Structures are given as structure tokens and as C-alpha cells.
Structure 1
């Protein structure tokens, strides 16, 4: 397929070409991958500035997304991709294979750093999804921090850079600039921009930004991070299905909420903290809950019956159903046994869904969360089990709300049990999104300024047209001529 980039895609590619560290905070479906691959191709074969590129991502992305994108676009056909996955022996063989880009899942980052040690061979690293490296105490972050001085270029891709707090930004930005903007240490960053919020004498439970800190942080990172809201995508049409809780299940729910304990003869359901109580209550709203021995205690089937009714309403339309817990998946599969329902497990499932061979695609949002193109298979999502994770929620909906979605809207149905923790979750997600939107607005790329001849946001980029008759790289000639 011939690549005809939009102005924002040209802008993003040029941004990567000109800066040693870049954060693309683009909405889901804005094709961050092809923007990045286009820059990688030029850095490898036109400018000769890099020779070996490492891409780090979630397992599903490492298995499928990057190699699909290379095969899809004509101008990327010469790029060779090796997937560093599987057993240790398979990973080592993949590392030794001739390639331009090596793709590895984030769980194996620490192993990769230890495998090469000081002989680190990659001079460019792309992290997809950057927000999964937001924890400075995580081993995967510490591993990348070791080899950061050995890498010339860094690119971080994410649509949700601050899913919980501004504190989450430090580790992500550090990987891009080595601490130049937000400081060399997480502690220093926290002391500079935050103050204690909830505390008990000497124990601090949470931090809040100091006055003016939010704006100062955004200003600091705006030189290397850009955002772009999704444009030209179908809107989301949210729907809420209210489900009454059966009386016996209501008694059990109220007992657990009140006592943080639901006794059984051979294993109690226990919540030791407020956070764990919230999780248990969400499970009970779904219809089952794990006890202290990890055994499943089934409470009711109200959500299963509601799911059946909603599926009947959509008739022959294919539907993606998101579940929250393993017992949700098992009960759904058992309830709909005999129907064309399948769990999302591998690339064949993706292909079958996109070609209309699956009526009901059952998936956990974490398994579809980044980069997967599922928009050709349908436009209806049902959240059987709600998530409190903003990133999972947005990324899940973004699997169908992407370029290529042919329907006028993406329908997102939420199954909500009345009078339960379900009713608290959606407002919580909406509240978190406000801080997220503020960050993305602060680093928003003002493409219209470039198109209208105003000063560009980075270096030597010039506006380029969308003429596709100038050959393989014709779309970017104006920027390249300027650079020369």
C-alpha cells in the first residue's frame, strides 16, 4: 500500500529525525507506528545515522503490530524485522538474525540488557508503550537506565502518558532525555514539584503538585514531547445498561462491603484493604469472586443474562466483549457455549475477526491494549467487567476507533449493576481523564501553524504537500532539501 501521510504524520516523522529523544503522545489510531517506521527507514538508509534499532513493546504488539506495519506500506518493504520472542534459545537466534529492527516484549528487557552487558549493540530504541515504563522502581526501567548512555536516539510512543499522576512522567521523560528536563532523580523531581497530600504523621500516602507545578512541568517537556488528538475518527457512542442485583446476591454484596468478609465453610472471601475491597466488589458485581484460596465463588448470573440480551439486540453485528477477571472469561465461555465466540489469543484470531469469521470476540483489555488494528471486524464494544485503569479503558476502546473504521460511530456498552461499585468506576475514569487531557493539550503539536506558514515547532521542518507522484520518498523531499 502506498503511504500518503497527513501533515501531522509528516510533522511527527520530521520531529523524530531532528531530535535525539522524542515522545509522541498521540491518541489511539493516529498511526504512531508508521510515523516512527518512516523516520527509522530514513535514518537507516538515507542518513546512515543509526544501524540497529530496538523496539520494545507489549507482547502482543511485539508479536504482531510492527511486522504487520512494515509489510503493509510500500516505502518500508526493505526493512527487515526480527522478533526476539519465545524461549532463551529462540531469542538468541533472533538477535543473531540479519535485520534492521529487532522487536522484543518489555518483560524481556532486563534479560536483554544483561545478555549484552557493556557490548550493547542498539543505537536507537523505540518504546511502545512508553507509559509502561512509568515506574522508576521497576526492573525494566532500571535496566534501560543502565544502557541509556549507549543509545543515540530514543522514541517513546503512548496515548496515555499520565494515567494516574504527574509523578508518572519522570521515568518516561528520563528515558528520552537522561534527566535534562525533569532532573536526574525521581526523588529530586518529587521534592521540586510536589508536596505531601495524604499522610499519617511521618508516613506519606500520596503527593500533590505544588502551585504552578503542573504548568512548569508541561513547559519543561514541551520541547521533546508532542501530542495530537484523534481527528477524522468516528465518535464513541456510550451506552449504559443498568442491571438490578438479585436479592440474595445483594445481601452477600452488602455483607462484604460492610464487614470486608464473606464467610464460607472452606474458604472466606476477605478484603484486607480499601483497594482490595473495591476489587472484590467489582468481581461480585460481575457475578463471581475469588476467595482466600483463589477458588471461584459464584454469586449471581445477572450480568451474563444482560450480556445475552444485549448481544441479541445487536443481532448479526460482530461484538467485542471485554472481561476483567479469568472467572468472567470462563463463565462467559460456558454460558455461550456453541455460539461463534472466541478468545483473542494470537494473530489468526485477529485475522479471523477482521475478516468477519468471529461473531463474539472475547478479550481482556490488557491483551488488546496497544497498537492492534481490530477496526475492520466490527464497531461494537461491550464492557462486561469495568476496569479502573484509564489506560486500559482508553486503549481498549481505541482498538475499534481507528482509521479504517467504516461505521459512523463506535458503540461502547457498559454493563453496570445498580447500587454496586460499578456505578463508581465510570465517573472515576472521567475524572482521571481531565488531568490526562491537560497534559496532552499542553504539548499539543500546532500543525495548523505549520500549514499556514507560521513558525514550526521544530528546527528545519517545512510544510510539505501530499503529492504521491514524486516517487517513493517524494512526500518528504521539502524537509530533506532543507536539511541539506
Structure 2
């Protein structure tokens, strides 16, 4: 495993993580070290990225790729195909394990975006755990192994080594390295690192991990982060403050949990963006200020393609309709055909939800301008989404625009993302600060 790690280190400097891994896999296949390789990736990455990389590089074009995606009959046919590498999406892991369990055909596994296996309770983790002993080699790829907390590392490392380094159970891992944080009786909402635990964990896994920062090895383009502030109209501002006060005061300080804090801030983020879902699931429009700001950014781009990240379904619909009224066509990312069209410069405005395209997609050839119409509390999604354009192969300075509604929760999220410390504690503290504010005003 160490030899493979060193090989990946060298080749990663020259290329990207997908082609580096493919090059290593090709070498292992040639040497007879492995025979059938399974790649598990996010759906859009499974559909497009791995096969595209094989087609792009001359030294890899002989590799045969079979995609275990789509309908049950398509997946079964893909399994029967003669190939070197079989690519599936993570949602199909449970089906694949059940279907092939008695005749497991793969002796190497590559998990593209290992951090998507950070939950020990998730079905995909439990299923892959059942067959991990059948793999001679397991490789995990991720740029954000523990974006929220080192507690997320245990399931990922367990898949790599079967519990040799961080323990056989998540319970023993927590007991050794963490203390309980916020809790409600027996339910613990977050875990705090013990003193010196971070360094101890890093030392434990250092022999099987290669950590590389792109800026240290690659000539990446410049990145400009731009804050585009908007002022809510007075009526919208009043509605926002009224909603914020009502939601916050509904919670007693002792009752604030990560779950209900997330619900509260989710509603406030919706209103910041300009609309909110009512109790009967209807969309109530509040303002168009972010839409106007987005239009100005697109106009200033002067015909250059713009990649827009949105948060809610009503954001998507409102953006499409508003830009259409301005004679501009925006489309949502549907499949690999759209990725190719974008990279060819055929899509002027592409809308993507960060959760569906945050990992692995190569979009750097189609443009260099990003707009965050609505922000996310997830540091992992935020970082990975920006990396769709700010990555190797990008030829221009990447401009990342954040549309921020002044005096709203947008400012809290932007500050936390800038500090790279977005987690449940930050979310809870933001809500508690508002609670104290409104309580003091009531006195």
C-alpha cells in the first residue's frame, strides 16, 4: 500500500486525482496485482468523469470502463460486461453488495469522495463494510476528509484498514479521543476533541494517508472572492425580522438543538434569498433583490459563461423565470451531456445545486465565474463546489461572487465559511446569540 501511495503522490503532482488513480490502477492491472476494479463515486462523477479521463489520456485509452448505473437491467448488463474498471454510484452500493455477495467479483476498490462514507449508520457504509475483506486494495480519494469534525474520520479509515488504527467501533473511537459536547439527556449532538487527540489521530493514520495541498504542487489560477451586498426593501426587512424573532423566541435556550437550529436558519436563508415555503408548501415571494444582483453580475460578465449555485427549488425556478424575462437562457445541470456542453462553451448560464455537483465534476474548461445565489452551512459542499472551476486545467482567474443580504443570516454563514469553521457549534451559537438579543430587547 505504501508503494502505491508514493506512486500516487508523484503522479498526482503532474495530473489530477482521477487520472493519477487511473494510472496507478493501470500499473496494478499490468502487473497482475489486481484484476477487477470497482470505483464508487457520486452519480454525475460515475456517469461522466472516470470515462472522460480514460478517453482524454493516450496512456489510458486501452482501459475498458463499464458503468453500473441506471435501471436494474442496465446495472446487470454492466456487471456482465468485459471490463477492467467498473464504476457505480454510491446509491447503488447496497444493491451491488446484495446482488454479488455470494460471488464477489472485485479485488480492488476506489472510493471517489471517501467523505461520503463518513456516517457509520449509513446503509452504504454498512454494506461496503460487509465486503471490504474481499478487496486486496482499497483507495479513498477526498479533498475534505473531515470538514466538520474529526469524528467523521472513523468510518472512512475503517473502510481502509478494518479498524486497525482508529479502533473496531465508533464507540471506542469516541471514548478514546473525544468528550461529549451539546446534548439532550442521552442524545449527544456534537463531540469535542480531547487535548492532543488531533495530533494523535493524525499520527495513527499517517502511514496510509497522503495529504497534498494543490497550491503546494500545482500552478493553480488566482482566485478572487467577491462579496456582493444587497439591501432588503423595508417591507422585506420587516418580514425577515418578524420571522426571525418569532422563530427564535419559540425556542427556549435549553431547547435549542442542532436539528431545530438548522430548521430555523434554513427558513431565514430562504427569506434572504427572496422566497419561502409556506406551511402548505406554497412559495411565498418576498423580494427580488438577489435576482437583480445576479442579473448585474451576468451583465458584467459580458457574455462569459456563469456558473450559479442555488440552495432551494424555488431559487432555481425564480432564477430561470427572472432571467428568461431578461431574454437570458439559464439551464440546470441534468446529465453528462450538459457537462460536455458547458465545457465546450455552449451553455451561457448553468445552475447547479452544490449537493448534486459538489464533488469530482470537471467544469473548469467552460468558464471562470461563480455566483453563490444562496449560501450553504456545509463547508465541505462550499469548498468542493468552488473547486469545480478553481482546479488544475483552469486558464483564467476564478471569480467567486457571494450575494449577501445585509443584516441577515447570510452574514453569519459567510463569516463562518471564511473562517473555515462551519460546524454544529457555530450554527448553535448563531441561534443562541439571536435568542439573547431578543430576550434583552423584551426586558
Q: TM-score range by the shorter chain?
A: 0.7 to 0.9
Listed as ranges, the matches of 1:320-399 within 5 Å are 320-337=307-324, 338-399=327-388
Other-structure match for 1:298: 285
- The equivalent position to 1:420 in structure 2, one of 408, 411, 419, is 408
Q: Where does 1:110-259 land on structure 2 (aligned, <5 Å)?
A: 110-200=94-184, 202-230=186-214, 231-259=218-246
Q: CA separation of 1:17/1:39 partners in 2, compared to 1, >3 Å: closer, same or farther?
A: farther
1:63 aligns with 2:52: no
- Residue 391 of structure 1: how far off its partner (Å): 1.3
For residues 328-349 of structure 1, give each alpha carbon's deviation from its aligned partner in whole angstroms, at most 9, with x where no partner exists. Answer: 0100000111323222112222
Task: State the 1:312 CA deviation.
Answer: 1.4
Aligned to 1:34: 19
What displacement does 1:97 show? 0.7
Cα distance change, pair 176–310 in 1 and its aligned pair in 2 (3 A) = same
Rounded to whole Å, the distance in 2 between the matches of 1:185 and 1:203 is 18
Aligned to 1:278: 265
> Whose helix fraction is larger, Structure 1's or Structure 2's?
2
Query: Which residue pairs with 2:429 in the alignment?
Result: none
What is the CA deviation profile of residues 381-422 of structure 1, one whole-angstrom value per residue up to 9, with x for unaligned ones?
010011111111111111111222111x21000000000010
Query: Aligned pairs, how many?
Result: 409
TM-score by length of 2: 0.88
Compared CA separation, residues 97 and 168, structure 1 to 2 (3 A): same
SS in 2 for 1:260: helix
Give the TM-score, by structure 1 length.
0.81
Unaligned runs of 5+ residues in structure 2 are 250-257, 424-443
d(CA) in 2 for partners of 1:35, 1:291: 48
Equivalent residues in 2 for 1:11-26 (5 A)? 14-16=3-5
| 1:158-191 Cα shifts (integer Å, max 9, x gaps) | 0000011100000000001111100010000000
| Deviation larger for 372-381 or 170-179 | 372-381
Q: How does 1:36-55 map to 2 (within 5 A)?
A: 36-45=21-30, 47-55=31-39
| Aligned position for 2:93 | 109
Contact 1:58 1:105 in 2 (8 A): yes
- CA apart distance, 1:202: 4.5
> Matched residues in 2 for 1:365 and 1:403: separation?
20
Q: Secondary structure at the match of 2:210?
A: strand
How far residue 13 of structure 1 moved from its aligned partner, in angstroms, is 9.8
Contact conserved, 1:13 with 1:39, CA < 8 A, in 2? Answer: no
RMSD: 2.4
After superposing the two structures, state which structure 1 stretch, 110-119 or 365-374, moved more. 365-374
Report the Cα offset of residue 261 of structure 1.
9.0
Which residues of 2 match residues 412-451 of structure 1 at below 5 A? Answer: 412-432=400-420
**1:206 CA drift (Å):** 2.0
Shift of 1:199: 3.1
Determine the structure 2 residue equivalent to 1:440: none
- For structure 1, the 5+ residue unaligned runs are 1-11, 263-270, 436-484
1:356 positional shift: 1.7
